[in-house]
A and B are shown apart, each in its own frame.
Chain A
Amino acid sequence: MSIFAAPTSFTSGARRGSPAVEVRDLRKDFLRRDRRNGRLARRRRWPALQGVTFEIARGECVAILGQNGSGKSTLVRLLSTLLIHDGGEARIFGHDAFRESRAIRRLVNRVSVEASFFKKMSAAENLSYAARFYGMTPRQTRDRIPEILERVGFPADRRNEAMEHLSRGMQQKVALARALLTSPVLLLLDEPTTGLDPRSKLEVQEFVREVRAEHDATILLCTHDMAEAEALADRVGILDRGELLFLEPVEDVKRRYGVATLEEAFFAATGRSFEEEHEDDGERGVFA
C-alpha cells in the first residue's frame, strides 16, 4: 500500500479539465545596482524571466534546465506565490497564481536546493510544524511522520535528533518528506539533488520516480543536471537568461538540433557551452 495519501478535500481544489500549469508570457524583473559600478550606482532592471510560455499536463514530469541565474528559481517562486509577477499570467489547476494564492498554496509544495529547517529542532518537530500549516492535527501526524520518514530512507532512530546534526543528504530527505506530507498535487523541485553525494542523489531520484508513480503528482523539476533531467522528465526545457528556448521530449530536442546530448543541444541553441557563464549571470543569480 502506498503511504502517499491520495489528494484530500484540501488538495482537491484543482479544477477539472484544466492543465496542471499554464504559463503565458510570464515576466519578472528585479531592480539591482550594478556591482561593478560601486555602491552608489543607479539601480537598473534585471530581467529574470522574459515572456516565458509553457504548459504542463496533469501527472506529467517536466524538467527545466538552466545555468545559475537563468531564472529557474524565480519561476518556481512565482508558481509557489512567493513572488509577484511583472506581466503575463500563470494558472495552476485553473487558479490564477497571483489572484488566488490561498487556493494555490493548498495544491503546491516545494523542495528547494537549501533544505531550510529550524536547525535546533528535530526532523519530527520540523515536520509536525509544517503539517499544522496544512491543517494536520497531532493525531494525524503521529503515525504519518514516522511512516513517511521511513519511506524516504531516513533512519527512525534519528528522527528526534536536531537537524543541525544531520548530513546534507539526510536533511534533503526530510525536505522531501515535508513536501510529500501535505499530499501536494503539484510538486516544485528546485535543484533537489544539488550538493548531494552520488548515492543520496540516486536515492532522491528514485524516490521522485516512486512519488510520481504512486502519488499521481505533477512535477516541475528545475535543475542544472542534464542527466537528472533526462532520467526523470517526460519533457525537457532550457531556460537561458530568462527565456525558455524549448520544452520538448528529449529525443525531439536531439532530433531538432541534430545532436546526441542535451549539452550539445544547449550549445546549438545558445552558441555557448552549458558550463560557460557570462559575468552578468552572477548578478542575475542573486535572485534567479
Chain B
Amino acid sequence: MTAAPETLRRELVGLAGIVERNVYLTKRYFLWDVAFMVWTIANTLTIVFIARAAGLPPPKENQLATALLVGAVIWAFLGIIFEFMTETVAWERWEGTIEYTFMAPLSRSMHLGGMGAYAVLYGLIRATILFFVVAAFIGIHLPDANFAAALALLAIASVSFIGVGMMTSVLPLISPEKGAQLGFVAQGLMLVVSGVYYPVSVMPGWMQAISKISPATYAIRGCRASIIDGAPLLWSNVWPLLVIAVVSIPLGLAIFRRGERYAKKHGKLKRSG
C-alpha cells in the first residue's frame, strides 16, 4: 500500500479507537449515565413547566412549551459536546493516560475528531430521549413538526460545535487547575447570546451582534421553526453554520496545537495541580 492511503487508514483506525474507547466507558458508567439522564429530564421539566404557568390560551401555551423544550434540548446537546471535548484532556489527565495518548502516532485532528464524533452520537441519542420524554410528560402536541429537518440542522451545527469545543478543550492543557471550569463558562456564554429560552431580539444590541457568530443561534432558530411550524431546512440557517464550521475547525485545531506546545514546553501535560 502506498504511503498516503496507508497513513489515512491508520488515522481512521485511530479515530475509530477513540470512539471505541468512549463506548467502553459509557458501558462501564451506564448507571451514572442513567442518573444524569434523570437529572437532565427533571431540569428540563422545571423550564418547560414555565409555559403552563404563563396563563396563555392552549395553542400559545403549546407553542411556548415547545420553544422552551427546543432550547433546553439544544442546551443539553451542546453541553454534552463541550463536556466531551473539554474532558479530552481533563479526563485523561485524571486517569493518568494522557501521556500515552499524546505520544501515540495519531494526528491531533483525528484525536479530537474522534472525541467530537462520539460526543455528537451520544449527544443526539440523549437529546432525542430528552425531547420525547419531556414532550410526552407535559403533553406537547407537535402536529406540524418536521423532525428530519431539525435533525439535519443539528447535525450540520454539530460540526461548528465541535470546532468551538476544540478551542475550549485546550483550556485544561494551559491551566490544569481551572481549565475545565473555564470550558463550562464558555458554554454558558455561548448559550446566553444564542436565544436559548427567548428570542435574540430581546437582548441588548451588542449581545445580538455577538449572537451572529454563535452556531447555537442558528441551530435553535432553525430547530424551533422546523418543530413548531414544520419549516424545511432553511438555507438562511445552513450557510452561517457552514461558514462557522469552516472557520472554527481549523481555528480550534490551531489553538489546541498551540496549547499542546505550551504544555510540552512548560511540563504541564502530566500535571494535575
List the interface of chain A (C-beta within 8 A of B): 9-10, 30-31, 77, 80-84, 102, 105-106, 108, 110, 112, 114-121, 125, 128-137, 162, 178, 287
Contact = CB atoms under 8 A, between A and B. Distances in A.
Nearest to A85: B265
B264 A129 contact: no
Contacts of A119: 95
A135 B13 contact: yes
26 contacts: A30-B266, A81-B102, A81-B103, A81-B264, A82-B103, A83-B264, A83-B265, A83-B267, A83-B269, A84-B261, A84-B265, A102-B107, A110-B99, A116-B97, A116-B99, A118-B21, A120-B29, A121-B24, A121-B25, A121-B28, A129-B17, A129-B20, A133-B14, A134-B14, A134-B104, A137-B13
Contact of B13 (A77, A83, A116, A132): A132
B177 to A, nearest CB: 13
A118 B13 CA distance: 19
Contacts of B29: 120
B99 A105 contact: no
Contacts of A30: 266-267
Contacts of B21: 118, 121, 125, 129
A287 B265 CA distance: 12
Contacts of B104: 105, 130, 133-134
A117 B103 contact: no
Query: A-side binding surface: helix, strand, loop or mixed?
Result: loop
A117 B261 contact: no
Interface of B: 6, 9-10, 13-14, 16-18, 20-21, 24-25, 28-29, 95-97, 99-107, 261, 264-267, 269-270
Contact of B105 (A105, A112, A125): A105
B264 A132 contact: no
B268 to A, nearest CB: 10
Query: B-side binding surface: helix, strand, loop or mixed?
Result: helix
A174 to B, nearest CB: 12
Given A84-B261, A137-B13, A287 B267 contact: yes
A82 B99 contact: yes
Given A110-B99, A135-B9, A135-B14, 19 more contacts: A82-B102, A83-B267, A83-B269, A105-B105, A116-B97, A117-B95, A117-B96, A118-B24, A118-B97, A119-B95, A121-B28, A125-B21, A128-B17, A129-B20, A132-B16, A132-B20, A133-B101, A134-B10, A134-B105
A117 B97 contact: yes
Contacts of B24: 118, 121, 125, 129
Nearest to A32: B267
A133 B266 contact: no
A120 B28 CA distance: 6
A106 B264 contact: no
